[in-house]
Amino acid sequence: MNDAPHTPRRALLSVSDKTGVVEFARQLAQRGWEILSTGGTYQSIVEAGVAARQVSDVTGFPEMLDGRVKTLHPAVHGGILARREPGHLEQLEQHGIGTIDLVCVNLYPFRETVARGAEFPEVIENIDIGGPAMIRSAAKNHAGVLVLVDPADYPVALQDEVSPAERQRLAAKAYRHTSEYDAAITAYLEGTSDELPTALPEQLALNLTRAAQVRYGENPHQPGAIYRLGAAQGPVLDAQLLSGKPMSFNNYADADAAWALCEELSEQEAAVPGHEAVCVAVKHANPCGVALAQSARAAWERARDADTLSVFGGVVAVSRPVDLDAAQAMRGTFLEVLIAPEVSPEAVAWFTEKKPDLRVLVVGPAAGVSRLDVRPLTGGFAVQERDSRPWDDLCPEVVTGREPTEQEWLDLRFAWATVKHARSNAVVLARGGVTVGLGAGAVSRIWAAERAVANAGELAQGAVLASEAFFPFDDVVRLAAGAGVRAILQPGGAKRDPEVIAACNELGLSMVFTGSRHFKH
């Protein structure tokens, strides 16, 4: 692997992720390598019966400052950085330094420490210093030194020869490893300082690692893949596939949209009797049927019946465990994805037999999720903080003479959460904890309202209406009143608010201003 005249070849192993490292060290030793190591890695190797030397034996200095200083020494970095040519090798010999031909290092678990909510001092202690320095040194000198940052690459080092192209690939991977690590540290420090921007610094690095491969993107002619941001975990990104085909690009997007609304409604309605279960059906990232009920089956049936046409081929999220009874209620409807916190073994077996193409998912954990919402532009990105403002953060104001009834208040809250998750312009009609009409993605607010009213038909009688943005005119009010809507919720803040309020009073409607707009483009 290395034809330099010095013997034996030396490998420095110092890893946080110890997956496979003992066996790797054993195979290196069997091939005549001398093993240098540090701390816990050294302990693991020697306890397994593999001969190794501590780095401190080479440097002549013990580990210092609670392990903060152990490899930052010329005896280490000289052995890594020396070019394998006479001038450099002679200098090493003058100072009694041997070459290091392999550096196997991965870094302190900084991102994992942040993700589990550790306190600031512990997070800081998990910033690796010596590790990145060794990785960068080895990657710079990759013509003579193999650098490994991923256990998946250990077999490469056991080959008789490693090609220059393979060495360069490993070096590029090593620099990516350290750059992603530094980006995570930067993001954390900027996000925890009172004097620095909390989310939108002058320079923003997105640390993305491929988490899943898909056949293609939105359309078959577009390559696509799913990436993880840093060490974050997500309910759909890390969901367990229990049954059905692999997830597609569009499945991921729709399931994420469905679960986000399902989760928000579940938290919002948790204390309301009869609203223990939430079901959200989504089509093309827009809700098409949303319902509250006492059971998973009842919630599904109400959401399905809200728009039986649009739910065909949709993605469904249910907030409660799905049992066989709920599964069998889905018999007559073609669905792409079902996602829930739990699916009974009997239900999984039924889906596998009766709906083998349906992707049945159990939600994964959500940890270390970024506050950022990142959207592509040609040549760049538009970045904002996520719209995570809850209902309890609002100060709803009744601006009409008529107050909403208790049931209308419940439906207004429900409709507000739903319209917040629909593409603008959006209008939602709801009654009794179920959407009866939705109009989303319209270029005109009145068109969105007309679509919602038409979708509701007679069910608009006694319903409430929610809009994610204000009304520039009173036309939506008059349309809603003519359909039988009894209460309206909107942000307020338009020039013609007095005219809109007057129309509500004239027609006997309640109107509530939230003071909070929720565009979603």
Within a 10 A sphere around the Cβ of 521, how many other Cβ atoms?
8
Distance CA 412, CA 274 (A): 16
DSSP-assigned beta bridge partners for residue 512: 398, 489
Per residue, what are the HEC states of 49-92?
Answer: CCCCEEHHHHHCCCCECCCCECCCCHHHHHHHHCCCCHHHHHHH
- Comparing CA positions, the residue from 194, 177, 179 lying closest to residue 120 is 194
Give the contacts of 150 (CB within 8 A, at least 6 positions apart).
106, 173, 177
User: Of 88, 140, 173, 245, which one is the catalytic site residue?
Assistant: 140
Please, is 6 exposed, middle or buried when counting C-beta atoms within 10 Å of its C-beta (0-12, 13-18, 19+)? middle
User: Of 18, 173, 245, 284, which one is the catalytic site residue?
Assistant: 284
Residues 242 and 361: beta-carbon distance below 8 Å? yes
- Counting DSSP H helices and E strands in the chain, the numbers are 19, 21
Residues 479 and 444: beta-carbon distance below 8 Å? no
Give the contacts of 88 (CB within 8 A, at least 6 positions apart).
82
Distance CA 243, CA 225 (A): 21
Distance CA 122, CA 106 (A): 19
Within a 10 A sphere around the Cβ of 210, how many other Cβ atoms?
9
Q: Would you state the structure tokens that stand for residue 227, as one six-digit string?
A: 């990436």
Within a 10 A sphere around the Cβ of 97, how many other Cβ atoms?
20
Question: Residue-wise over 328-357: b if at least 16 C-beta within 10 A, else e?
Answer: ebbeebebbbbbbbebbeebbebbeeebee
Give Cα 233 to chain centroid, integer Å.
5
- Mark whether 142 is an active-site residue: no
Q: Would you state the structure tokens that stand for residue 498, as one six-digit string?
A: 């007095």
- Mark whether 73 is an active-site residue: no
Query: Is 36 strand, coil or helix?
Result: strand
Query: Is 320 strand, coil or helix?
Result: coil
The set of catalytic residues is 140, 284
